[in-house]
Amino acid sequence: CSEEFLEVDPIANTLESNYYQTEEEMYAALVASYDPIGWLSGDFVTKLTALNAASDDVYAGGGSSTDVPSLQAVSSYNLTAETGPQSSLWNKGYSGIYRVNTLLVKIEGAEVSEAIKSRYVAEAKFLRAFYYFDLIRLFYSIPLITEPVIPDQMFEVEQDTREAVFKQIEEDLLEAIPNLPDQVNVSVEGGRATKGAAISLLGKVYLELEDYTLAAEQFEKVNGTPGATSPFGYSLLENYADLFRTDNEFNSESIFEVSHSALANGVWDCMPCTEGNIINIMAGPRGYNISNTSAGAPSFVSGYGCFVVTEGLVDAFQLGGGQFDPRYSTTISNVDSLQQAGVVTYEPSYKNTGYFLKKFIGRTEDVTSGGGATELNFPQNNYEMRLADIYLLEAEALVRGGINTTRAQQLLDAVRDRVGLDPVPATFENIMNERRLELAGEGHRWFDLVRTGLAATALKDKGYVEGKHDKLPIPLRELTNTSLVQDPAY
């Protein structure tokens, strides 16, 4: 037979060597670079589920102490190199970085216009910074990879200094910002990086590095005048609850959003391929059933009973005299009391308090009617950064840096005023408390606690050990036959 006989047509497979030629293919590479933002692993770990479980706001909950082991481990600070959310979060970050690095290399040879090229490169650099910023905060000591790894050198990669990683993040963002659009048409491009997102992220990086002046400078560019529409067009939504409506994505308060879709027909066989938001089914109380349909009980789906809200968070919402912070009813559902009132029935979760994370409990009206597993195809987006969050971060930077308390007060007031709360002094403590309530369950709390040194106290009851649990262990797989070393605390 001739040699040709053995050349098989790679049906339904595209070879890398033939790809990355056209604009369409580069767009697919860009989409793939964004994909890990909504990363869901087989162990139910997303950035949001893991960071919530780690915080003092919720317990992992679920059916039992062994349900969703990765989240239980971080919720009770039982982390070991092999158990916990770290391998999923590590893979999320480095998968994104690999795709970004691939895009950056391949776009040089692709037939795309200069305009597209400069925007894609800027987006890729923003994403690389975004992934690295998560990795460096979650793992402390990581390898810095800025090009696709060559097979021969696969096992020789070493951890870099934190300075080098932060420098790269800063550099990527500074290079990205000029070429990113001020705004995007949210109906088709919502979710793609904008100047506002990149500048906010840069501010967060500086804040992490405790460079308060630089941080506040960045945040101010995004925030503009507190309470007004910012230069990039951001403004606080009038109604706090509207932030979490599934029909209100990419609203004026949204700066960078994790986008999900109910249309991708995701199946259990490949959880990372799904586009739905897993937190919706996880947060649903177990066996939730409305027994009195006329009492107006919330239309929650019956779920896995995860993210049981701690008594501590519930207490934080109490204003005294039986009054609750106005954001409470959007944030938390007291399913226990609904059951006691005979309106619903449900099964208690592990570490049950009766309170569940209402912001993210899936609604029956959002259950997909398309193909795939309904559990995996909830559409709700969640915010990586939104204006109120950046207001409070700026306030934090201004107060911690002792820079401008007046503006800090204005920023804090704006956030409180939106929900009808009276001003409180812009102290560090009040700002942190405001962040906790404003952003409860949105995945910021753990980073806030670790960044500000409050973690040891706040998370003590959960088993947090200072000097150890301010980062995750390097996943076991990364240590096997490689040059990486585990954090000494693990």
CB of 162 to other proteins, least distance (A): 16
CB 463 within 8 A of CB 59: no
CA distance 87 to 71: 12
Q: Determine which residue in the list 205, 264, 278, 412 makes contact with other proteins, applying CB under 8 A.
A: 264
Segment 236 to 255, residues that bind other proteins, using CB under 8 A: 249-250
Strand ranges inside 139-219, DSSP E? none
Give the residue with the Cβ less far from other proteins, 4 or 422: 4
Q: Binding of other proteins at residue 489 (CB under 8 A)?
A: no
CA distance 17 to 435: 48
Give the residue with the Cβ less far from other proteins, 9 or 365: 9
CB 345 within 8 A of CB 339: yes
Could you tell me if residue 44 is left (phi over 0), alpha (psi between -120 and 50 degrees) or otherwise beta? left
Best CA proximity match to 106, nearest among 224, 227, 23: 23
Q: Binding of other proteins at residue 178 (CB under 8 A)?
A: no
Q: Binding of other proteins at residue 35 (CB under 8 A)?
A: yes
CA distance 452 to 449: 5
Q: Binding of other proteins at residue 6 (CB under 8 A)?
A: yes
Q: Determine which residue in the list 47, 260, 386, 400 makes contact with other proteins, applying CB under 8 A.
A: 260
Q: Binding of other proteins at residue 294 (CB under 8 A)?
A: no
CB of 133 to other proteins, least distance (A): 16
Half-sphere exposure for 80 (CA within 13 Å, toward CB): 3
Q: Could you tell me which residues are beta bridge partners of residue 332?
A: 357
Q: Binding of other proteins at residue 143 (CB under 8 A)?
A: yes
CB of 207 to other proteins, least distance (A): 26
CA distance 191 to 323: 37
Q: Binding of other proteins at residue 473 (CB under 8 A)?
A: no
CB of 463 to other proteins, least distance (A): 14
> What would you measure as the largest C-alpha separation in the chain, in angstroms?
89
CB of 184 to other proteins, least distance (A): 9
Segment 318 to 347, residues that bind other proteins, using CB under 8 A: 345, 347
Binding mask 98-127 for other proteins (x = CB under 8 A): xx-xx-------------------------
CA distances, 79 to each of 86, 87, 425, 451 (Å): 9, 12, 38, 20
Q: Binding of other proteins at residue 14 (CB under 8 A)?
A: yes
Give the residue with the Cβ less far from other proteins, 382 or 410: 382
